[in-house]
Amino acid sequence: MPDRAVGIPIVREGIPFVAALGGTATLVGAFGWIAPAVVLSGATAFAAWFFRNPRRVSPCAEGAVVAPGDGKIIAIEEDYEPRFLKDDAIRMSIFLNIFDVHVNRMPCDGTVEHIVYQPGRFVAANRPEATLSNEQNAVMIRAANGAKVLCVQVAGLIVALHPAVPRAASAPIAAASLAALCYSFLADITWLWRRRAVA
């Protein structure tokens, strides 16, 4: 499937950070302050790397649920989801460390029905309590086959969320677009049907 990120190496939300650091590095260098300019240039390169938006190709299998983010799967379990689905469902948690790409993407083809932002704490995202207590953004998706898929992005110890989801709750989201969701340190994806997630 094509990816909206093609040709855009850095996400839009990261451009101000890269531009500000790069501009400051250039200005400082113009004044002949070499050491600070080198440090700021390194910071610029790190910001560009952190906000990178590489191409992703998702499987074309009908009904596939794709991992919404890079990282390490730390849990796959069946449990009752009390806040949004209010039903037994399969939940997969993906932990993103500082070296992973932090752009999350839509996990399936469907329509965004609800978007719920919750302010909160900034404890380490791999701790169990982070799923409920940390800042987070929940996106409820009605998949093309009618199933409900919940994707929750959870902030970590040093990264806050920058939601980039559609403002219109009823806006259709094609899996081919792989629209970016936000940046997070933990991505929880929960779905009701009994199908295998494709990472």
Residue-wise pLDDT tens digits, 110-152: 888 888 888 877 666 666 666 676 788 888 888 888 888 888 8
Q: Which domain holds residue 138?
A: 65-198
- How far, in whole angstroms, is CA 31 from its chain's centroid? 39
pLDDT in tens, 6-50: 456 887 778 888 999 999 999 999 999 999 999 999 999 998 988
Same domain, 17 and 76: no
The Cα–Cα gap between 191 and 148 comes to 6
| Residue 130 falls in which region: left (phi positive, over 0), alpha (psi -120 to 50) or beta | alpha
Q: What is the pLDDT of residues 150-183, one digit of tens each?
A: 888 887 766 555 555 544 444 444 433 334 445 5
Are 132 and 94 in a shared domain? yes
Share of the chain above pLDDT 70, in %: 67
Write down the pLDDT at residue 94. Answer: 87
Q: What's the domain count of the chain?
A: 2
- Quick check: is 4 in a domain? no
Q: Is 178 left (phi over 0), alpha (psi -120 to 50) or beta?
A: left
pTM of the model: 0.71
